[in-house]
Amino acid sequence: MEKEALAPLLKKPLKERDNDIAQLLAIGAYQLLFLRIPAHAAINSAVEACRPLDKKWAAGLINAVLRALQRDEKKLFEQLPAHAHAAHPLWLWKTINNAWPQQAETIFAANNSHPPLCLRVNQARTTTSDYLTQLQSGG
């Protein structure tokens, strides 16, 4: 998650020396939005992770920013720039849009899709047909 995605939640940008706090915010935001971790646990773990950094001020900031993200998630997603919606870094988004403007959305969708499942059978342990039988019996 890029820093700009959380920028609307900060009153002023973090300083370069506070990049560790920005990373904790990104991890907490990812846990809140994309993992099946309860919100209170994601927020608490990010707050607790900042304590050993000797930045006591950051605990309150992390708590406030992640709670605001939890509360205003839909509104914040609407404010994200186009490259964030495509889930690509800005430099790659610009490159693809400049090189293939008509196909850019298709390219982004293909990049974000899941690849097909591929299995390799260890022939020293079983045969392909036996493994297929096991898979079919397992549903």
Mean pLDDT for each 10-residue chunk of the chain (139 residues)? 67 84 89 88 91 87 89 76 71 91 91 88 92 90
Cα–Cα distance for residue pair 24/30, rounded to 1 Å:
10
pLDDT of residue 1: 46
Q: Which residue range is the domain that position 57 belongs to?
A: 3-83
CA distances, 76 to each of 6, 35, 44, 110, 116 (Å): 8, 18, 21, 25, 32
Domain-embedded: residue 64: yes
Residue 48 lies in a domain: yes
Predicted local confidence at residue 41, as pLDDT: 93
- Residues 31-62 have pLDDT tens digits of 988 888 898 999 999 999 888 888 888 899 89
Residue 47: what pLDDT? Answer: 92
Residue 106 lies in a domain: no
C-alpha to C-alpha distance for 68 and 43, rounded to whole angstroms: 11
Q: Which CATH number is 42's domain given? A: 1.10.940.10
Number of structural domains found in the chain = 1
Distance separating alpha carbons of residues 105 and 31, to the nearest angstrom: 27
* Domain assignment of residue 26, yes or no: yes
Residue 44 counted as domain residue: yes
